[in-house]
Chains A and B, each alone.
Chain A
Amino acid sequence: MNFINRAFKNVTRKLSKTILLTLTFFLIGNLVIIGLGISNASENAKILTRQKMRAVVTYRLDQDKIWQHAESITDEDELNEFYRNYPRIKLEEVKAFLDDDRVKTANSITNNMWYQDAEKTLDYVHLGNQAEQNIDESNGQSCWYENDVERCETYRQPLFFIKANMFPNMIEFEDGDYKIVDGRFYNQDEIDSAKLVCVISEALANTNNLRVGDSIKLGIANVGIYYQEMGISQEDVDVEFEVVGIYSHHNQITPDASNYDYISPYENPDNMIFMPTTSMTLANLPIAQKEFDHTAQEVAEWGDENTIAYYSDPNNRPSESNLMNNVYIENATLLLTDPLDVDKFVEDYKDTITEFTILDANNEEFNRLAKPLDTLSMYAGFIVNLVVINAIVIITLVTALTLKTREYEIGVLLSIGASKLKVIGQFFVELALVAILGFSLSVVSGSLIAKQIGNTVLEYQISTSDVTEDEGNHYVMYGDYYDPWNSDYSDDVSLEDLVSEYEVNVSPAIIGEIYALGLGIVLISVLIPSFMIMRYNPKKILMNQN
């Protein structure tokens, strides 16, 4: 007859006490289940919605901070110095992020619109819409008189959209929206060596009968008067690229698109060409050098000492050797493997990133919309805590009062040599058995009640909160309107998305939590009575009865 056996017999044979305590635990259990159910549903809704969102963190300059800092500078020279050394996103820092296991890849995109070469060797993929007819009409020469001299320049419409990246695995390809169907994507070596390579669409390849390994020639600028004055010729802007890969994508534009007639060729995703940012910069090198030389000549006439010195220094002239210094990164979008890591990732790095930069979890709208759920979760958690504290107080009191009526039993057990710890153990097991019974019953009823109450409370919470969806904050990357310029990779979220994921369920995790909580309540409730038992003296109990 060990103490567990004794506890079992006490529970099964002292039925009125057992029923009362079971009822107490049953009521506590119901309240806890409702609280935990609502709290978990709120948290789950947030997690599930977050999981559906793309796990992106944007690393960019903190313009607000830069502005505030500039405003705080009163000395003009100091201010000029600050602007001369304007904060920049550092490539090394982005590369360091990529070393973090949580980061899958990064986009640091530079967009551009490019042209056909002089001989028009590369045809674009035609939609046959109104915008394309306008191109044919508007291409040509545009002339005007300047100081009674007629001046003309060739005017052309850009036809190709260039998406250049500093990293070989782009988010679009990681996500599966784009897929290499032949060849490969450009690699890190090609980025580092600024090799003139590109990846074109399947449709563009078919239109021009191109294969992997072929070359395409693109006009990287329109040689207008301004360029001509600088001595930039058509040969300078026509650049040849090797096709290393061909991709397919899911962004087909159909005639039922709302803006179909106004889609320019470069807005057609089939005319998008991927290449390394370094290659784009290298292609621009002849232009950049001639621009530099031209400016150097001009500043020699009217520039101040510092400017003349700058343009006189050959190290500042764009060249292949200082190409990487001239690659400018505006921002970087990091794609993480798990959307749930986003907040933690930002938290981990926020104090170590370069000054005047920011890691943006892109979750402002999400957090704003999730406010009713947060409030609900907070109140539910508050109820759970309150119930648990009350339960501990009630059960402690009941146990302590019960001790008085069981004094002689404790005396007998001590007189026959039972240890005080075993006596405490018996009380713990008795309460634990009753708690398990009460909580088990409450799991059945609580799951039914929690669902009903949870939904009602959420409806009330939403109706009384002032959360509305911010219509102006919706960025559409893919869909009816395709915007090639868009570099916002974060997903939209709506209140409906969140609410649709809100489901009060008493999951096995909650059930486990309830039993753990119940045992915790029992353990704490037995503590004070345990101190009383430890002070019991069998002589005083047994000898004073006679």
Chain B
Amino acid sequence: MSEILKLENINYSYIDGGYERQILKDLSYSFDEGKFYTILGPSGSGKTTLLSIIAGLDNAKSGNIYFKGKDLKEIGLHKYRRNDISIVFQQYNLISYLTAVENVMLAMAETDNDLPKDKKTVAYNLLERFGIVKTKADRLVTQLSGGEQQRVAIARSLASNVNLIFADEPTGNLDTATEKEIIEIFKQLAHEYGKTIIVVTHSDAVSEMSDQRVVLKDGTLSEM
């Protein structure tokens, strides 16, 4: 399997109460294509910070991140977010005044990636793949259940045809049965569609089902 994301000597710190708090310390790690990763770690270990840095939402203090061998500084964070990755959040972060299908189409409108012309049909198909039938796809997302909303969020993450998907506690608001369904979807995406899934989670159930469990401790990542 080829390397999709490489972290090299990543450092991150912030000032807290007058003292510098080091969160990530010379962190280096490589993520391969087509694998489902979970990042574990105790509260406050810096999981979310790490995710925001590798998802292009924030800059590391030092170090380099390479996407498919290219430095993120070269690609540009904005372009990286638009064309190369997508993020699934615990709160789903769907836009409330749009329908499920419109939320999915949102990501398609922004990316520069090649997409089929009939975007709406693609969006319906994506949603249907995750169990959201057309009648539900045309509803405002506020009228869907939590699990359905998370499926819409995952469908949106796939809509822009990216290979790297990040998820921050994606099952945190879901019941066990739905959590299992979502994890199955992630596995399916990694193994059948060759996507790289990197999930930050507290949940053992989720991490146990991943291909690779990685622990963030003392500012560095280590495999379990």
A69 CB within 8 Å of chain B: no
Please determine whether B172 and A546 come into contact, CB atoms closer than 8 angstroms. Answer: yes
Bound-state CA distance A9–B156 (Å) is 18
| Residues of the B chain whose Cβ atoms lie less than 8 Å from the Cβ of A419 | 78
A17 nearest CB neighbor, chain B only: B97
Name the one of A6, A13, A545 contacting B91, with C-beta atoms under 8 angstroms: A545
Per the 8 Å Cβ criterion, residues 132-150 of B in contact with A are: 140
B205 CB within 8 Å of chain A: no
Q: State the Cβ distance, A13 to closest chain B Cβ, in Å.
A: 4
B180 CB within 8 Å of chain A: no
Name the one of A6, A409, A416 contacting B160, with C-beta atoms under 8 angstroms: A416
Please determine whether B91 and A417 come into contact, CB atoms closer than 8 angstroms. Answer: no
Per the 8 Å Cβ criterion, residues 62-105 of B in contact with A are: 78-79, 81-83, 86-87, 89-91, 93-98, 102, 105
Please determine whether B81 and A415 come into contact, CB atoms closer than 8 angstroms. Answer: yes
Question: Knowing A415-B57, A416-B86 touch, does A9 contact B78 (C-beta < 8 A)?
Answer: no
| Residues of the A chain whose Cβ atoms lie less than 8 Å from the Cβ of B93 | 408, 411-412, 415, 542, 545
Per the 8 Å Cβ criterion, residues 525-546 of A in contact with B are: 537-539, 542-543, 545-546
Bound-state CA distance A546–B106 (Å) is 23
Give the interface residue-count category, chain B. Answer: 35 or more
Name the one of B78, B89, B96, B105 contacting A542, with C-beta atoms under 8 angstroms: B89
B48 nearest CB neighbor, chain A only: A543
| Residues of the B chain whose Cβ atoms lie less than 8 Å from the Cβ of A412 | 93-95
Please determine whether B172 and A539 come into contact, CB atoms closer than 8 angstroms. Answer: no
Question: Knowing A13-B140, A417-B82, A543-B52 touch, does A538 contact B57 (C-beta < 8 A)?
Answer: yes
Please determine whether A418 and B57 come into contact, CB atoms closer than 8 angstroms. Answer: no
B8 CB within 8 Å of chain A: no
B109 CB within 8 Å of chain A: yes
Interface flags, A394-429, vs B, CB<8A=1, else 0: 000000000000001101111111110000000000
B13 CB within 8 Å of chain A: no
| Residues of the A chain whose Cβ atoms lie less than 8 Å from the Cβ of B78 | 417, 419
Bound-state CA distance A6–B106 (Å) is 9
B179 CB within 8 Å of chain A: no
Bound-state CA distance A10–B169 (Å) is 29
Please determine whether A539 and B58 come into contact, CB atoms closer than 8 angstroms. Answer: yes
B4 CB within 8 Å of chain A: no
Name the one of A13, A413, A539 contacting B97, with C-beta atoms under 8 angstroms: A13
| Residues of the A chain whose Cβ atoms lie less than 8 Å from the Cβ of B105 | 1
Q: State the Cβ distance, B65 to closest chain A Cβ, in Å.
A: 15
A465 CB within 8 Å of chain B: no
Please determine whether B90 and A545 come into contact, CB atoms closer than 8 angstroms. Answer: yes
| Residues of the A chain whose Cβ atoms lie less than 8 Å from the Cβ of B156 | 416
| Residues of the B chain whose Cβ atoms lie less than 8 Å from the Cβ of A545 | 89-91, 93
Q: State the Cβ distance, B159 to closest chain A Cβ, in Å.
A: 9
Bound-state CA distance A409–B78 (Å) is 17
| Residues of the A chain whose Cβ atoms lie less than 8 Å from the Cβ of B110 | 413, 416-418
Please determine whether B98 and A546 come into contact, CB atoms closer than 8 angstroms. Answer: no
B111 CB within 8 Å of chain A: yes
Name the one of B52, B95, B160 contacting A539, with C-beta atoms under 8 angstroms: B52
Bound-state CA distance A412–B82 (Å) is 12
B107 CB within 8 Å of chain A: yes
Interface flags, A502-546, vs B, CB<8A=1, else 0: 000000000000000000000000000000000001110011011
Bound-state CA distance A543–B93 (Å) is 11
Please determine whether A543 and B57 come into contact, CB atoms closer than 8 angstroms. Answer: yes
Q: State the Cβ distance, B139 to closest chain A Cβ, in Å.
A: 12
| Residues of the B chain whose Cβ atoms lie less than 8 Å from the Cβ of A408 | 91, 93
Bound-state CA distance A418–B95 (Å) is 14
B33 CB within 8 Å of chain A: no
| Residues of the B chain whose Cβ atoms lie less than 8 Å from the Cβ of A538 | 57
Bound-state CA distance A539–B102 (Å) is 24
B59 nearest CB neighbor, chain A only: A539
Q: State the Cβ distance, B111 to closest chain A Cβ, in Å.
A: 7
Bound-state CA distance A311–B172 (Å) is 119
Interface flags, B21-64, vs A, CB<8A=1, else 0: 00000000000000000000000000011011001011000000
| Residues of the A chain whose Cβ atoms lie less than 8 Å from the Cβ of B83 | 417
Q: State the Cβ distance, A424 to closest chain B Cβ, in Å.
A: 15
Bound-state CA distance A543–B108 (Å) is 23
Q: State the Cβ distance, A360 to closest chain B Cβ, in Å.
A: 66
Please determine whether A417 and B106 come into contact, CB atoms closer than 8 angstroms. Answer: no
Bound-state CA distance A277–B166 (Å) is 98
| Residues of the A chain whose Cβ atoms lie less than 8 Å from the Cβ of B48 | 543, 546
Please determine whether A10 and B81 come into contact, CB atoms closer than 8 angstroms. Answer: no
Bound-state CA distance A542–B89 (Å) is 8
Please determine whether B90 and A416 come into contact, CB atoms closer than 8 angstroms. Answer: no
A84 CB within 8 Å of chain B: no
A72 CB within 8 Å of chain B: no
Q: State the Cβ distance, A9 to closest chain B Cβ, in Å.
A: 6
Question: Knowing A9-B97, A539-B58 touch, does A416 contact B106 (C-beta < 8 A)?
Answer: yes
Bound-state CA distance A539–B50 (Å) is 11
Name the one of A2, A9, A415 contacting B87, with C-beta atoms under 8 angstroms: A415
| Residues of the B chain whose Cβ atoms lie less than 8 Å from the Cβ of A413 | 106, 110
| Residues of the A chain whose Cβ atoms lie less than 8 Å from the Cβ of B94 | 412
Bound-state CA distance A10–B95 (Å) is 10
| Residues of the A chain whose Cβ atoms lie less than 8 Å from the Cβ of B55 | 415
B166 nearest CB neighbor, chain A only: A415
B57 nearest CB neighbor, chain A only: A539
| Residues of the A chain whose Cβ atoms lie less than 8 Å from the Cβ of B52 | 539, 543
Please determine whether A6 and B98 come into contact, CB atoms closer than 8 angstroms. Answer: yes
Bound-state CA distance A412–B96 (Å) is 11
Bound-state CA distance A158–B111 (Å) is 98
A344 CB within 8 Å of chain B: no
Known: A543-B51, A546-B172. 7 other contacts (CB 8 A): A1-B102, A14-B97, A411-B93, A412-B94, A414-B81, A415-B81, A546-B90
A selection of 19 A-B contacts at a CB cut-off of 8 Å is A1-B98, A1-B106, A1-B108, A10-B97, A13-B97, A412-B95, A413-B106, A415-B93, A416-B86, A416-B107, A417-B79, A418-B82, A542-B57, A542-B87, A543-B48, A543-B49, A545-B89, A546-B89, A546-B172
